[in-house]
């Protein structure tokens, strides 16, 4: 449901679904990582790069089997977004 809400740009609803799901699966490390990835994607879609980087870096550092190339690219894209925002605001 959460990813569907992200696609529909219903970001607040998506976040509620992801956070509720995190509570339900907190004992399952693999599902927790998948949900953290989804939260990182959600924040990235909202241009909330710091939040996105926080969630995505946590997954990347745990050496999860989740797609490392995709994680790396999402982290870099968000870091560049922050850098470009800083350059523009100068």
Q: Which two tokens stand for residue 27?
A: 């004992």
The model's pTM = 0.76
Q: Which long-range contacts (CB under 8 A, 24 or more apart) does 31-35 make?
A: 33/59, 33/62, 33/64, 33/66, 34/66
Whether 27 has a pLDDT exceeding 70, the answer reads yes
Lowest mean pLDDT, pick from 29-38, 43-52, 57-66: 57-66
pLDDT of residue 42: 95
Q: Report the CATH number at residue 79.
A: 1.25.40
Which range of residues forms the domain containing residue 51?
A: 2-88
Give the residue-averaged pLDDT of 44-73: 79
When divided into structural domains, the chain yields a total of 1
Give the residue-averaged pLDDT of 22-47: 91
Give the residue-averaged pLDDT of 60-84: 72
């Amino acid at each position: 449901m959460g990813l569907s809400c992200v696609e529909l740009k219903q970001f607040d609803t998506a976040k509620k679904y992801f956070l509720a799901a995190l509570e339900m699966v907190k004992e399952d490390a693999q599902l927790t990582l998948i949900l953290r990835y989804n939260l990182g994607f959600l924040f990235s879609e909202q241009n909330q790069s710091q939040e996105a980087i926080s969630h995505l870096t946590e997954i990347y550092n745990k050496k999860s089997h989740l797609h490392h190339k995709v994680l790396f690219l999402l982290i870099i894209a968000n870091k560049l977004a922050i850098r470009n925002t800083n350059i523009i605001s100068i």
